[in-house]
Structure 1
Amino acid sequence: MLIIDDEVALTRSLQIALRDPNYQVAVAHNAQEGLAKANALRPQAILLDLRLPDGDDLKPLQRLNAMLPDSAVLMMSAHGDIKTAVEAVKQGAKDFITKPFDINALKTQLSQYLLAQPLKQEGLIGQTPAMEKLRSELALVAKSQAKTVLLLGESGTGKTAVAAEIHRQSALANQGFVEVNCAALPENLLESELFGVEKGAFTGANKSRSGLIHAADGGTLFLDEVGELTMALQAKLLSFLESQRYRPVGSTKEKQANVRVIAATNRNLASAVEQGRFRADLYYRLNVMPLTLPSLEERAADIPLLLAHFAQQFSYDAAPIHFQLQTQQLLAGYRWPGNIRELKNLVERLSVLYGGDEISVGMLPVEFCEGGKTQQSCDLTGAESEPLEHLSSRLADEEKRVIVGALQESGGHKGNAAKLLNISRHALKRRLQKLGIEV
């Protein structure tokens, strides 16, 4: 875990209070130091102060999300208000904590991120022929001397996990693995993040700053959503791939970096080239060692393993949910347009609503019954005649009714309401936010 806060006394106190043999706690006292440590340590959880001396409110959050999309960032501030909290969550913060805070409540919030299985292992779970083929190809690519690798496949198939595994099995495993989501930042900010920036290059550039290519020097740079790059950035990326040389924004001097670039996209790049939306020369440069990830529908036999894995991950302070055989069979017949990401979200939702329970078909959201390859039913009252959107709305209304009832019974105390619902306080807060319940 990493704590980024300019109050030295507070960070020391938190280091002591959060001391635990299961994880390490590192600290930084400004945005620049925090971002450098975040890149080097790749923490599972980050406590980020809203107002740092060298950070403009939520800008460090944007950079952390682009650099470490799998890390949980929790914002904290003595100046917190509802508007700032909502904006922080919109920009990717997992939660917003107002100082002073209760240390036991903070430990509970952090535990789910620090003690969960690392996300980078999720996409490699499976025993189907499609997954065995992917593992075999991945091992060959990892050990090759190829400087560029291209990961293809539908959205949500686990490209980040595969990229991390390629790095882990390569000769670069002891060097840095730097990840950036090319769709998460606007063009001007993404260019600065990748190549760095010279002091005075533009308004607000008060100091020179190294980019993520520099941070990945000697290791691996993972460019997710590379198909979203603008044509101008595509040209600059191609130039770097050809020469391993680049020029920071606003600089007249070139720098050099020796990195392996793994690019990923769910777009059909060949089609994008034909339509003039992606440079043909960049496509051919990236497409040296392509790997195509199977969709979840292609590896449906792995679904029970994935359900068990995510159920354990989202068990929080309750026993893991488990799935009846009929439920597993129904989910195996679902089309999974969102692939592993969609399955993960389903298990998280069911874990919040039915912590520790056996999941029957009737507990599933109705879209999973309607989206199968064969006609199936969730046995919900009125399911045969009621429109899908009405059923989804009715399910949300019922969830809202149960939560509001628990809050009323507990006198509005969220902690007690969470106990009544047999879920964690953090899980309750997420449901309140999603359902628009104000307390």
Structure 2
Amino acid sequence: MKEKVLIVEDDINTLNGLAEILEEEQFVITKARNASQALSAIRKKPFNVVLMDYLLPDQNGLDVSRQILEELPDTKIIMMTAFGTVKNAVEAMKMGIYDYLTKPINLDELLIIIRRAIQEQRLISENIDLKSKLTDTYRFENIVGVSGKMQEVFQKVMKVAGSDATVLLRGESGTGKELIARAIHYQSKRRDKPLVEVNCASIPENLLESELFGHEKGAFTGAHKLKKGKFEVADGGTLFLDEIGELPLSLQVKLLRVLQEKRFNRVGGIDNIQVEVRVIAATNADLEKRMEEGLFREDLYYRLNVIPIRIPPLRERVEDIGPLTDHFIRKYAAKNNRTIQGITEEALKIMMAYNWPGNVRELENAIENAVVMCEGDYITPQDLPAYLQGPPMVDSPLLKIVMEQGDLSYREKLEACEREIIRMALAETNNNKTRAAKKLGFTLRTLRNKVKKYNL
């Protein structure tokens, strides 16, 4: 799409000359000879850049620019004048004018400034789009979990997002702790500030202090320049410390100080660095046991454990396997340009029977594998990874699997079974709701309500 430029200039020769040159540079040009024409044009359609003459017959360019910026603050205005003074330039810049040129206009300089203005505008727009997409991606509604246990997690997370309290996420590897941490950040008032993620287990101990707190130039061999740590980078936003149970004791003291006093020193530094950061920590370790073994400080544990949230493993929420399977089929079918409709009843039984020690991450990998291997419209048992295809998994009935989950209420067990039975009926009828309703003995309206309820 060609960028649009509005030229506001009362001198007809200058106006036409600028218009001709900019049209040759592939800009779409609109011309105005006074303030009234300029305001009328900009209210009809937006412009990327406005070239504004300082002296106009009916109003001065600064006043017109002020009106434009009040209505369309993203517009880049370049002021042109034959009477350039430092005072005028300063006044223009304070008001939000993008740049200031003195006549006669240097055309090379003008083109550089216009292109730079448009590039900045594009980057700002892309940044806004990215933030919007991130916010949408990590909305609670987009984290899959229909089980009672996950609904409890979501309710707690929604409450926590509105506060600045420190959160400790606990759960096995692969349960989605990082996804919950991102959801908390992007639903909080800090969403426009940085979210910085650090995996405490993946960084060598001798580098972790510098990574978290930064270092001064010359602090150690190889420290050739000052480096800001993750706490400084995250100032005003959120710092997510994954695998916090692996944090060395030597750094636990320094982390405790930051949580208590909101300040720290860089490695090799003496100045206190003040920060305002929300900390979300996560672990799959038994912190209580590590405290008993002297590997984790008790005072730090209580500082982190202000709001504890436990993410249940997948084997404790078997009713989420179906919705997660649907979600990942859609995701990887789109990614691989496939038209896969779903999964067969036999393949789903295998999925339901498996214990999923790697939790949601393992299930996602299994479905990605199956989507790649699938040659038809539905994933079959033969498409699943080999380790899932053992006879015990195929022969395990759905009811038995659900009933063995002793910590589910009977209502949750009933809903899990009902959801999968409805899914089977839809699969057998190629998603024909009228035929599926007839098979199930439902009215069409009842089936539609249940499809909506179970996110089928």
TM-score range (shorter-chain normalised) is 0.5 to 0.7
Q: Is residue 2:339 matched to residue 1:328? A: no
C-alpha contact 1:369 1:376 (8 A) present in aligned 2: no
Hey, what's the Cα distance between the residues in 2 that align with 1:162 and 1:142? 10
- Write the deviation string for residues 332-382 of structure 1: whole angstroms up to 9, x where unpaired: 1211100010011111212222266421123323322449789559xxxxx
2:146 aligns to what?
127
Query: Aligned-pair distance for 1:220?
Result: 0.7
Structure 1 residue 143 and structure 2 residue 172: aligned? Answer: no
Residues 334, 372 of structure 1: 8 Å contact kept? no
The equivalent of 1:236 in structure 2 is 254
2 CA distance for matches of 1:195 and 1:43? 31
What is the CA-CA distance between 1:219 and the residue it aligns to? Answer: 1.1
Match of 1:341 among 341, 350, 361: 361
Please give the residue correspondences for 1:277-426 in structure 2 after superposition, counting only pairs within 5 Å: 277-315=295-333, 316-321=335-340, 322-354=342-374, 357-370=377-390, 376=396
Taking the aligned partners of 1:251 and 1:43, their CA distance within structure 2 comes to: 39
Contact kept, 8 Å, 1:198 with 1:249, in 2: the verdict is yes
* Deviation of 1:209 (Å): 1.1
Q: Which has the larger radius of gyration?
A: 2
Alpha-carbon shift at residue 234 of structure 1 (Å): 1.3
Q: What is the letter of the counterpart of residue 271 of structure 2?
A: K
- Kept in 2: contact 1:120–1:164 (CA 8 A): no
8 Å contact from structure 1 (residues 319, 355) kept in 2: no
Task: Note if 1:199 corresponds to 2:208.
Answer: no
- 1:185 maps to a residue whose letter is I
How far 1:302 sits from its partner (Å)?
Answer: 1.6
Structure 1 pair 121–248 and aligned structure 2 pair: CA distance change class (3 A):
same
In structure 2, how many angstroms separate the alpha carbons of the residues matched to 1:42 and 1:223? 26
- Residue 140 of structure 1 and its aligned partner are, at CA, apart by 1.4
- Give CA-to-partner distance per residue, 1:64-97, whole Å, 9 cap, x none: xxxxxxxxxxxxxxxxxxxxxxxxxxxxxxxxxx
Q: Is this contact kept in 2: 1:246–1:254, CA < 8 A? A: yes
Identity of aligned residues (%): 46
Q: 1:340 is matched by which residue type in structure 2?
A: V
- Given the superposition, is the C-alpha separation of residues 123 and 374 from structure 1 closer, same or farther in structure 2, using an over 3 Å criterion? farther
Distance in 2 between residues matched to 1:257 and 1:305, nearest whole Å = 41
Q: Which moved more, 1:323-332 or 1:356-365?
A: 356-365
Deviation at 1:120, TM superposition (A): 8.3
Contact 1:245/1:255, CA 8 A, preserved across alignment: yes
Contact 1:123–1:159 under 8 Å retained in 2: no
Aligned equivalents of 1:323, 1:230: Cα separation in 2? 46
Q: SS state of the match for residue 180, structure 1? A: strand
Q: Structure 2 matches for 1:74-113, cutoff 5 A?
A: none
Find the counterpart in structure 2 of residue 34 from structure 1: none
Q: Tell whether 2:179 aligns with 1:165.
A: no
Give the AA of the match of 1:240. Answer: V
One-letter amino acid matched to 1:221:
L
TM-score of the superposition, structure 2-length normalised?
0.54
Q: Does 1:257 align with 2:275?
A: yes
TM-score of the aligned structures, taking structure 1 as reference length? 0.56
Q: Is the CA contact (8 Å cut-off) linking 1:124 and 1:131 kept in structure 2?
A: no
- Whole-angstrom distance in 1 between the partners of 2:309 and 2:288: 15
Query: RMSD between aligned alpha carbons?
Result: 3.0
Q: Equivalents in 2 of 1:155, 1:42: separation in Å?
A: 32
SS in 2 for 1:174: coil
Say whether the 8 Å CA contact 1:225–1:266 is kept in structure 2.
yes
Alpha-carbon offset, residue 271 of structure 1: 1.1
1:235-266, CA deviations, whole angstroms, 9 ceiling, x for partnerless residues? Answer: 21111111111111111111010111000000
Question: Structure 1 residues 355, 158: CA separation in 2 closer, same or farther (over 3 Å shift)?
Answer: farther
Aligned residue number for residue 70 of structure 2: none
Code of the aligned partner of 1:325? E
- Please identify, of 274-283 and 307-316, the stretch whose mean Cα deviation from structure 2 is larger: 307-316
Once the two structures are TM-superposed, the CA of residue 201 in structure 1 deviates from its matched residue by 0.9
Structure 1 unaligned regions, length at least 5:
1-36, 45-113, 378-439
Pair 1:154-2:172 in alignment: yes
Moved more, 321-330 or 271-280: 321-330
In 1, the alpha carbon distance for the partners of 2:158 and 2:222 equals 44
Report the counterpart of residue 266 of structure 2 in structure 1.
248
